[in-house]
């Protein structure tokens, strides 16, 4: 007896496969475009009609942003900027994003325990912290620039790190709290009966159980901090340079250096895609402040 | 009013687990049939196959004479009530019940009429305007039932629909269900692991284990004439006593030798001649074991091992060497542990099973 | 030394110590990096202060004149507010519809749907500056967008997307849709997967077709998740900034001024810090009201 259509699986019609293909092309094409642009030599950048595949692929763009070679100078000959490799930007971004993230997660973790296990702050704290994140960065930056200049924090690593930690900490609090809430109180309570102090109960009993969640939260917040542009732009003037700022630095009145910019963009984005895919199970929870436990 | 025939129905899940193993079953139109068995025996799988929610690996399903094996569930006209009721949380009772009619495109007037009919039948008038979160278990169950009945399905499939109700409600609901079925003349297939439920409600019971059909018969026959050891041991509380034995001929008499004692089974006559193998199991229900403090003629001696008072009666476990046998006694029967008493089996109710195949000879 | 550690540990674990050690760091950060600047901002919003006027603390106070001006006669500001609101409504609506459609598609679990799922999440992971750069390049007159349009329409298309406010708006819209539809898709899919299969099975046996089930059973059941996703997305989309900077490519005329660009111009280009503060605070008030509703929803889970 020949088996016909499966009853268990919903059918995919031709239209649906077509829609799927169109959608995939739409979402994958810009990635493809960025990638090939990073391998195009200068004369292919503004060719019309554009080349859908580089005719003379080159890795020069990548080399130029990483090492101070003469081709870098040649590339910008005739324009207003001096070409500088982006090595400092990688380092600065790593420092600022890394430390900012660690600070945010640690502070957020402690606060999450406070709200979840000790009822300190409660709903008003959670709400306040959410507002912090929801407020447009522009609203926050206006006085922050002034405040930082009074403190001498402008264009410093610590200034930027503190700002990053403060404004991503809300994510840490909400998300980690959602993980702590899933661990029954009774585990800590029985440890307390065995003589453990409250803090020890938090760190020895509950914390190991939410390790995965904390790891995912850390990567999630790191992604946010690595991508942050506005604060970095307005709070730094060259002593500290993060990748997003560096990417825009290759903008000139004469036009953009498509190749190197694309190359830098690809390099900057690779860790984001790698980490993002690693924590994809937690993305829904992260982006909705723990509301949706995908 | 539909007859359901299952032919060689088999379902093997990806990964190799066998859900249903070559099931052959004919369910008469208008009957109340139970699928009875322990967890994992394949009864829910069978139900889902009949509903069209699973693909059979092999075999066919017929409604009356129509092969519906590959007909999608939407077109099979089956009613299915889950254990957790699955009542749509965002709709009122009315809308839940009307759902099956709405998707078929009936007019609002007709829908209103039919919903009212069913609501009256199941006493749901007050529930129609409420949402599921404001309903109790019994109301949810009736809404789930009403939702299916209103579409007049060919077959009604119920998956342990009463297990979420507390004991008193359950008994009441059982009776209501039976009345309903007779009234609607509905073919019902009822899945349960509760043998009392299956035995009291059904016209016929299909006992299943590990995907296989063990026996399909009236409740009376299931109880009195189990065809294999599994059915014999599954149905009946307390469960049947099983004692390993061999068939021995001695002085022209047939004896069932259990080692520590022997039962003279000559009276059972010709049946014994057909028993080819020697390794056997005898089965006797506790109710058919009589015990007495005073010697019984034809009886044997044993020691009291345990006594469990059950209110109206007692379960006394006796011991001969290392064989334990349970017997039911009236509550006045007073014995002490290790006391010597006499017991006797009611030969008419004795069952004999082949030790290897577990099939019943008797 | 040991007794010091013990005394410290006892203190930290005490009724007074616990709030200090657990909540203290957060409160410190919030107070210094958020509360104090915020207070400063409120103060500034009542002044016409600009760095050229000397010390902040000696600034004249113009008592709400900023607010009056902003709300009644500053059409540039009001236009920025309007553009932001309009963009948000259109972008989020399209992203919602697309997201639901995609989720419905992936929910069917066809062979390869796992890989497609991951691929569809990737745009969301890109940093906004990179997205801005990428689409800037694609919307060039010599870029692939025009090229494809030329092929489809038959004759050469040479739209200069980023030099005209209307086409810039469209380009920005497409950019945002590319970047954030995956978010709506993800949340919707999570919601769909949370629906108990028994509900769907029940609906099937009652005769509902796949489409009917989707419309009448699945969508209503994920209403809450969708609301949260829409609220979060809407709030985030008011802050678009990075992409617009990239689209402007060094020009000072940003063409499409939403509220972020407006604030940037007034605050950093014109140096009207006081005025910018008032503009920012009005926006904050509006956002606060919407966030309040979101908070209620999130906290009642």
Q: Nearest CA to CA, how far is A251 from chain C (Å)?
A: 6
Three-point CA angle B253, B259, B262, nearest 5°? 35
CA distances from B153 to A8, B185, C85 (A): 21, 11, 52
Taking only the tens place, the pLDDT of each residue in B263-276 is 877 777 767 777 77
Residue B295 clears pLDDT 90, i.e. is over it: no
Alpha-carbon distance A227 to A101, whole Å? Answer: 12
Instruction: Please indicate, yes or no, if residue A72 is contained in any of the structural domains.
Output: no
Instruction: Please indicate, yes or no, if residue A29 is contained in any of the structural domains.
Output: yes
What is the band of A1 on the pLDDT scale with cuts at 50, 70, 90?
very low
Extract long-range pairs of C266-271: CB within 8 Å, 24+ residues apart: C267/A138, C267/A141, C267/A142, C267/A145, C268/A234, C271/C50, C271/C51, C271/C52
Region C169-177: mean pLDDT is 95
Report how many domains make up chain A.
Answer: 2
The domain that holds A190 is classified in CATH as 1.10.3720.10
Strands B155-159 and B58-63: unpaired
| C217 interfacial to chain B (CB closer than 8 Å) | yes
Question: Residues of B with CB below 8 A from C223's CB?
Answer: 90
For chain B, which domains are there? 4-229 (3.40.50.300), 241-354 (2.40.50.140)
Residues A92 and A216 grouped into a single domain = yes
Residues A54 and A91 grouped into a single domain = no
Closest CB from A26, A48, A251 relative to C250? A251
Q: Please check whether the domain covering C73-299 is classified as CATH 1.10.3720.10.
A: yes
What is the band of A255 on the pLDDT scale with cuts at 50, 70, 90?
low
Give residue A18's domain range.
14-58
Residues of B with CB under 8 A from a CB of C: 48, 51-53, 72-80, 82, 84, 86, 88-91, 99-100, 102-104, 144, 147-148, 151, 153
What is the band of B181 on the pLDDT scale with cuts at 50, 70, 90?
confident
Residue B287 clears pLDDT 60, i.e. is over it: yes
Tell me the two tokens of residue A283: 């993305």
Residues A113 and A241 grouped into a single domain = yes
Instruction: Please indicate, yes or no, if residue A77 is contained in any of the structural domains.
Output: no
Q: Residue B41's pLDDT is what?
A: 87
Q: How many beta-carbon contacts under 8 Å exist across B and C?
A: 68
Q: Residue A23's pLDDT is what?
A: 95
Alpha-carbon distance A35 to A53, whole Å? Answer: 10
Chain B interface mutation, best of A7, A8, A11, highest count of B Cβ atoms under 10 Å: A7
CB contact under 8 A, C201 and B79: no
**Nearest C-alpha in B relative to C213:** B103
Residues A134 and A18 grouped into a single domain = no
Residues A104 and A220 grouped into a single domain = yes
Q: Nearest CA to CA, how far is B12 from chain A (Å)?
A: 14
Residue B256's φ and ψ, nearest 5 degrees, are: -100, 110
Residues A33 and A179 grouped into a single domain = no
Residues A31 and A111 grouped into a single domain = no
Residue A68's φ and ψ, nearest 5 degrees, are: -80, 80
Where are the domains positioned within chain C?
Answer: 73-299
Question: Residues of B with CB below 8 A from A6's CB?
Answer: 55
Residues A133 and A201 grouped into a single domain = yes
Would you tell me how many other CB atoms lie within 10 Å of the CB of residue C246? 27
Q: How many beta-carbon contacts under 8 Å exist across A and C?
A: 300
Rg of chain B in Å (alpha carbons): 25
Residue C84 clears pLDDT 60, i.e. is over it: yes
Residue C196 clears pLDDT 80, i.e. is over it: yes
Give the H/E segment covering residue B244. Answer: strand B241-250
Instruction: Please indicate, yes or no, if residue A9 is contained in any of the structural domains.
Output: no
Instruction: Please indicate, yes or no, if residue A4 is contained in any of the structural domains.
Output: no
Whole-complex ipTM? 0.89
Percent of chain A exceeding pLDDT 70 equals 92
Residues A133 and A260 grouped into a single domain = yes
Question: Residues of C with CB below 8 A from B74's CB?
Answer: 204-205, 207-209
Comparing A268-282, B107-121, B179-193, B241-255, the range with the smallest average pLDDT is: B241-255
Strands laid side by side in the B313-320 sheet: B289-292, B340-345, B300-309, B313-320, B323-330
HSE (CB half, 13 Å, CA atoms) of B244? 6
Strands laid side by side in the B18-27 sheet: B18-27, B4-12, B58-63, B66-67
Comparing A184-198, B54-68, C58-72, the range with the smallest average pLDDT is: C58-72
Tell me the two tokens of residue A51: 């080349």
Residues A106 and A212 grouped into a single domain = yes
Region C244-256: mean pLDDT is 80
Strand-pairing partners, residue B228, are B359
Residues A110 and A234 grouped into a single domain = yes
Residues A108 and A53 grouped into a single domain = no
Closest CA relative to residue C30, chosen from B195, B248, A103, B55: A103
- Cβ A138 vs Cβ C264: under 8 Å: yes
Tell me the pTM.
0.88
Question: Residues of A with CB below 8 A from B54's CB?
Answer: 7-8
């Amino acid at each position: 007896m020949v088996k016909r259509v499966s009853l268990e699986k919903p059918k995919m019609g031709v239209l649906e496969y077509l829609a799927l293909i169109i959608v995939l092309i739409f979402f994958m094409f810009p990635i493809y475009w960025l990638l090939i642009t990073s391998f195009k030599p200068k004369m292919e950048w503004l060719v019309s009609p554009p080349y859908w595949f580089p005719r003379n692929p080159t890795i020069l763009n990548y080399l130029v942003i990483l090492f101070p070679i003469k081709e870098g100078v040649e590339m910008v000959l005739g324009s207003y900027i001096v070409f500088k490799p982006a090595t400092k930007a990688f380092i600065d971004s790593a420092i600022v994003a890394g430390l900012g993230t660690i600070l945010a997660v640690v502070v957020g973790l402690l606060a999450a325990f406070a709200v979840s296990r000790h009822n300190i702050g409660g709903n008003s704290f959670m709400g306040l912290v959410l507002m912090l994140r929801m407020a447009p960065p522009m609203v926050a930056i206006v006085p922050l620039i002034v405040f930082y200049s009074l403190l001498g924090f402008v264009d410093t690593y610590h200034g930027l790190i503190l700002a990053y930690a403060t404004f991503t900490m809300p994510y840490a609090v909400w998300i980690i709290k959602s993980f702590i809430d899933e661990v029954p109180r009774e585990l800590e309570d029985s440890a307390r009966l065995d003589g453990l102090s409250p803090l020890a109960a938090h760190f020895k009993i509950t914390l190991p159980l939410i390790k995965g969640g904390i790891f995912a939260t850390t990567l999630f917040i790191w992604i946010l901090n690595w991508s942050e542009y506005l604060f970095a732009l307005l709070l730094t003037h060259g002593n500290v340079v993060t990748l997003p700022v560096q990417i825009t630095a290759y903008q000139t009145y004469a036009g953009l250096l498509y190749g190197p910019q694309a190359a830098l963009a690809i390099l900057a984005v690779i860790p984001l895609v790698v980490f993002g895919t690693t924590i994809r199970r937690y993305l829904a929870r992260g982006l909705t402040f723990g509301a949706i436990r995908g | 009013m539909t007859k359901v025939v299952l032919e060689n129905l088999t379902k093997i899940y990806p990964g190799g687990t066998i859900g249903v193993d070559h099931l052959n079953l004919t369910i008469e139109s208008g009957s109340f049939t139970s699928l009875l068995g322990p967890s994992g025996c394949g009864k829910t799988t069978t139900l889902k196959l009949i509903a069209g929610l699973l693909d059979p690996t092999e075999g066919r399903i017929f409604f009356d004479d129509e092969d519906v094996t590959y007909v999608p569930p939407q077109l099979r006209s089956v009613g299915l009530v889950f254990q957790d009721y699955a009542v749509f949380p965002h709709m009122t009772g009315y809308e839940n019940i009307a759902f099956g009619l709405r998707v078929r495109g009936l007019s609002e007037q007709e829908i209103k009429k039919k919903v009212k009919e069913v609501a009256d039948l199941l006493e749901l008038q007050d529930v129609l305007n409420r949402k599921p979160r404001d309903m109790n278990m019994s109301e949810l169950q009736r809404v789930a039932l009403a939702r299916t009945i209103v579409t007049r399905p060919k077959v009604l499939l119920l998956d342990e629909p009463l297990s979420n109700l507390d004991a008193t409600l359950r008994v009441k609901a059982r009776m209501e269900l039976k009345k309903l079925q007779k009234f609607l003349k509905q073919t019902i297939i009822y899945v349960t692991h509760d043998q009392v439920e299956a035995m009291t409600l059904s016209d016929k019971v299909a006992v299943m284990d590990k995907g296989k059909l063990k026996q399909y018969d009236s409740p009376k026959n299931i109880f009195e004439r189990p065809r294999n050891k599994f059915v014999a041991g599954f149905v009946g509380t307390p469960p049947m006593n099983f004692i390993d034995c061999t068939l021995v001929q001695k002085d022209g008499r047939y004896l069932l030798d259990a080692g520590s004692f022997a039962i003279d089974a000559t009276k059972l006559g010709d049946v014994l001649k057909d028993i080819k193998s020697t390794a056997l199991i005898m089965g006797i229900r506790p109710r058919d074991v009589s015990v007495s403090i005073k010697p019984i003629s034809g009886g044997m001696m044993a020691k009291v091992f345990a006594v469990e008072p059950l209110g109206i009666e007692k379960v006394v476990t006796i011991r001969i060497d290392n064989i334990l046998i349970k017997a039911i006694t009236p509550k006045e029967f007073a014995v002490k542990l290790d006391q010597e008493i006499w017991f006797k089996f009611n030969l008419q109710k004795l069952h004999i099973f082949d030790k290897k195949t577990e099939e019943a000879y008797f | 030394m040991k007794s010091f550690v013990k005394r410290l540990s006892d203190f930290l674990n005490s009724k007074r110590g616990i709030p200090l050690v657990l909540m203290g760091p957060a409160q410190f950060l919030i107070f210094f990096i958020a509360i104090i600047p915020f207070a400063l901002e409120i103060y500034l919003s009542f002044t016409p202060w600009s760095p050229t006027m000397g010390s902040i603390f000696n600034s004249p106070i113009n008592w709400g004149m900023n607010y009056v001006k902003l709300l009644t006669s500053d059409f540039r500001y009001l236009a920025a507010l309007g553009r932001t609101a309009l963009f948000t409504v259109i972008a989020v609506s399209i992203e919602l519809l697309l997201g639901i459609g995609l989720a419905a598609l992936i929910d069917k679990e066809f062979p390869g749907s796992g890989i497609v799922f991951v691929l569809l999440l990737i745009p969301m992971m890109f940093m906004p500056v990179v997205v801005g750069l990428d689409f800037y390049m694609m919307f060039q007159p010599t870029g692939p967008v025009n090229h494809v349009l030329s092929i489809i329409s038959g004759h050469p298309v040479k739209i200069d997307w980023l030099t005209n406010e209307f086409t810039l708006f469209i380009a920005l819209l497409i950019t945002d849709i590319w970047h954030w539809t995956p978010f709506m898709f993800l949340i919707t899919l999570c919601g769909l997967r949370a629906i108990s299969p028994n509900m769907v099975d029940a609906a099937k046996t009652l005769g509902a077709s796949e489409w009917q089930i989707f419309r009448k059973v699945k969508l209503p059941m994920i209403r809450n998740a969708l609301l949260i996703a829409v609220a979060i997305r809407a709030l985030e989309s008011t802050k678009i900034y990075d992409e617009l900077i990239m689209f402007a490519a060094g020009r000072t005329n940003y063409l499409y001024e939403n509220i972020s660009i407006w604030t940037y111009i007034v605050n950093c280009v014109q140096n009207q810090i006081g005025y910018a503060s008032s503009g920012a605070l009005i926006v904050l008030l509006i956002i606060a009201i919407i966030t309040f509703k979101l908070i209620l929803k999130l906290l009642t889970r």
